[in-house]
């Protein structure tokens, strides 16, 4: 799930997954962090989900995927689209 909050020149995008699906640590990697695993790790929140928020420039497009334990790559079903095996965000 994606949550978005518009700011003046940026959009805060919160990447949200259930706390235990998939099990183990998960990070979101993409063009906004040079595809670096561990740069944006989802952390537990009080509603039983885990999330991380990334501030991204307005009027930009980004590719991303989730990376779980054991090199498990997966996509975001609620993304704005999918292209070349990646989820896409259009801000």
Q: Give the CA radius of gyration of the chain.
A: 12
Q: Cβ neighbours of residue 10 under 8 Å, at least 6 residues apart?
A: 55, 56, 57, 58
Range of 38's domain? 2-90
pLDDT in tens, 37-68: 999 999 999 999 999 999 999 999 999 999 99
Confidence of residue 77 (pLDDT cuts 50, 70, 90): very high
- Residue 21 is predicted with a pLDDT of 87
Give the global pTM. 0.94
Domain count of the fold of the chain: 1
Residue positions counted in the chain: 91
Residue 7 sits in a domain whose CATH number is 2.60.40.10
Neighbouring C-beta atoms of residue 79, cutoff 10 Å: 18
Confidence of residue 34 (pLDDT cuts 50, 70, 90): very high
pLDDT in tens, 6-31: 999 999 999 999 999 899 999 999 99
């Amino acid at each position: 799930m994606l949550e978005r909050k518009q700011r003046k020149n940026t959009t805060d995008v919160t990447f949200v997954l259930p706390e235990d699906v998939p099990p183990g640590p998960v990070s979101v990697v993409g063009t906004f962090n040079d595809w670096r695993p561990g740069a944006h790790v989802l952390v537990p929140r009080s509603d039983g989900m885990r999330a991380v928020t990334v501030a991204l420039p307005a009027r930009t497009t980004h590719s991303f995927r989730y990376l779980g334990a054991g090199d498990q790559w997966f996509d975001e079903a609620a993304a704005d689209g999918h292209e070349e095996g990646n989820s896409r965000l259009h801000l």
